[in-house]
Amino acid sequence: MAYGVNGPFGLLPTRTLGSATWNGQSSSYFIDVTAGNLFVGDPVKAMANGAIQPAAAGDVALGVFVGCRYIVSNATVNDPQWYSFWLNGTSLRANTVPIALVVDDPSTIFAAQVNAAGNLVQTNMFNTINWAASAGNQLLGQSQYTLDFATLGTAANLNFKMLTLQPSPNNAPNQPFNVAEGIINNHFIRPGAVGV
């Protein structure tokens, strides 16, 4: 990843609390086919219809989208195919649904880039911050979500709790577009979270 350069990548799972390496584990959820596009690295939220959709600033998140599988309407095989993104309006085979893979472990630590509104410094660590949604990159299937520096604070309802700057000599404090590591602050699966 290029530090100091405006190159958002959404939320990238790196490890779990306790420093265990993230092993690629994810869970399957239905996609709300009318609720918006999804790209690898996009945070998602649970819906009352039993599906997921992209999570906006301030939403209680279920986890982070890392891909999906579905059968398109003109497919020549009946097996769901793997895709790195979901586009609203995709035509599906009759009586099938798209399934998202979501990193939903509340102890997962994610890396995310701060936007152009400011540079993160050491004293920002352990603060909370909202993410900012942006249209994903269809060529790469990659999220363009960033951390919104303008929302930096200590409020309990902000999306992301920063723990540290991602360790790298090129990711120094007070550098433009630096990368923080942290956890989803308001996680749907944590005990005490309300249902939808």
- The predicted-structure confidence for 4-54, as pLDDT tens digits, reads as follows 899 999 999 999 998 788 888 999 999 999 889 999 999 999 999 999 999
Residue 193: pLDDT above 70?
Answer: no
61-82: average pLDDT: 91
Please give the structure tokens belonging to residue 110: 């994610």
111-140: average pLDDT: 93
108 Cβ neighbours under 8 A, 6+ residues apart: 13, 15, 16, 22, 63, 64, 183, 184
161-177: average pLDDT: 92
Residue 35's pLDDT is 85
Strand partners, 153: 128
79-91: average pLDDT: 91
**Residue 195: pLDDT band with limits 50, 70, 90:** low
| Longest distance between any two alpha carbons in the chain, whole Å | 56
* CA angle centred on 146, ends 122 and 22, rounded to 5°: 80
Residue 189: pLDDT above 80?
Answer: yes
**Residue 192: pLDDT band with limits 50, 70, 90:** low
Burial of 36 (0-12, 13-18, 19+ CB in 10 A): middle
As a whole number of angstroms, the distance between CA 184 and CA 25 comes to 16
Residue 88: pLDDT above 80?
Answer: yes
Residue 136: pLDDT above 80?
Answer: yes
Residue 196: pLDDT above 70?
Answer: no
3-state secondary structure of 160: strand
Residue 21's pLDDT is 83
Output the average pLDDT for the chain. Answer: 92
As a whole number of angstroms, the distance between CA 20 and CA 57 comes to 28
Residue 128's pLDDT is 96
